[in-house]
C-alpha cells in the first residue's frame, strides 16, 4: 500500500508538537502496512512523515513542486538542511511542474492519503484532499486545532 501525506506547515497548528506527534504515531502505525510513503517535501507534515519513514525503514518518494532552490528560498537554513537530508534518504525524488501537479500526484498515486490539518481552506492541503476524493483515493483525516494566524495564512503548501 502506498501512503501519501498532506498537511500544514507547523505554524498553522495551535500545537505544532502535538501535530508532529500525531504524524509520527500515524506513520509508525501505517509503516507496518505500507510498501512506501509518498510525501511532498513541505515543512511540517511532509517532513515529519519522511523522517518517521527513515526511522522505521519505510521507503519513501519525495515529490517537490519545483526545483529545490526555488521551493526553499524563503525557508530557514535549519529547515532546508532537514529537507536536503530527507532527499538523501528518498527512494526517488521527482520535481513536478508546480504545486497543483505535485498535489495531483500525491492524490492519485496513493492508496491512502493521510491529511493532518486544521480544515483551513484555500491551500495545498485542501486541494490535495479534494483531488484524492475525486480520484477515489481513501482519505484519513487527522483534524487538529488551528493557530491564531492560520486563517490569515497565504500561499501554497498550507
Q: Is the pLDDT of residue 81 over 90?
A: yes
Q: With bands split at pLDDT 50, 70 and 90, how would you rate the model's confidence at 94?
A: very high
C-alpha cell at position 105: 500526484
Q: What integer pLDDT is reported at residue 149 of this predicted model?
A: 80
Residue at 115 is within a domain: no
Measured CA to CA, the distance from residue 39 to residue 26 in angstroms comes to 14
Q: With bands split at pLDDT 50, 70 and 90, how would you rate the model's confidence at 156?
A: very low
Mean pLDDT of 65-89: 96
Mean pLDDT of 123-151: 94
pLDDT digits over 47-64, tens only? 999 999 999 999 999 999
Q: Is the pLDDT of residue 80 over 50?
A: yes
Q: Is the pLDDT of residue 30 over 80?
A: yes
Residue at 151 is within a domain: no
Give the chain's domain count. Answer: 1
CA 11 from centre of chain? 14
Q: What is the percent of the chain with per-residue pLDDT over 70, rounded to a whole number?
A: 95
pLDDT digits over 2-23, tens only? 999 999 999 999 999 999 999 9
Q: What integer pLDDT is reported at residue 158 of this predicted model?
A: 35
Residue at 116 is within a domain: no
Q: Which residues contact 96 (CB under 8 A, 6 or more apart)?
A: 63, 64, 65, 66, 102, 105
Residue at 85 is within a domain: yes
Residue at 142 is within a domain: yes
Residue at 86 is within a domain: yes
Q: What integer pLDDT is reported at residue 157 of this predicted model?
A: 42
Cβ atoms of 115 and 96 closer than 8 Å? no
Residue at 153 is within a domain: no
Residue 102 domain boundaries: 6-110+123-146
Q: What is the DSSP letter of 146?
A: B
Measured CA to CA, the distance from residue 29 to residue 25 in angstroms comes to 6
Residue at 152 is within a domain: no
CATH label of the domain that carries residue 15? 3.40.50.450
Q: Is the pLDDT of residue 31 over 60?
A: yes
Q: What integer pLDDT is reported at residue 99 of this predicted model?
A: 97
Amino acid at each position: 500500500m502506498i501512503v501519501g501525506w498532506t498537511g500544514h506547515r507547523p505554524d498553522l497548528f495551535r500545537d505544532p508538537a502535538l501535530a508532529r506527534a500525531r504524524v509520527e504515531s500515524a506513520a509508525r502505525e501505517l509503516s507496518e502496512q505500507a510498501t512506501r510513503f509518498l510525501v511532498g517535501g513541505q515543512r511540517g507534515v511532509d517532513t515529519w512523515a519522511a523522517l518517521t519513514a527513515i526511522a522505521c525503514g519505510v521507503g519513501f518518494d519525495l515529490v517537490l513542486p519545483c526545483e529545490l532552490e526555488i521551493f526553499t528560498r524563503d525557508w530557514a537554513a535549519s529547515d532546508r538542511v532537514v529537507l536536503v537530508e530527507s532527499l538523501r534518504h528518498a527512494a526517488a525524488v521527482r520535481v513536478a511542474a508546480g504545486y497543483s501537479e505535485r498535489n495531483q500526484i500525491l492524490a492519485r498515486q496513493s492508496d491512502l492519503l493521510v491529511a493532518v490539518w486544521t480544515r483551513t481552506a484555500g491551500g495545498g492541503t485542501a486541494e490535495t484532499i479534494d483531488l484524492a476524493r475525486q480520484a477515489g483515493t481513501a482519505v484519513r483525516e487527522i483534524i487538529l486545532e488551528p493557530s491564531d494566524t492560520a486563517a490569515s495564512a497565504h500561499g501554497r503548501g498550507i
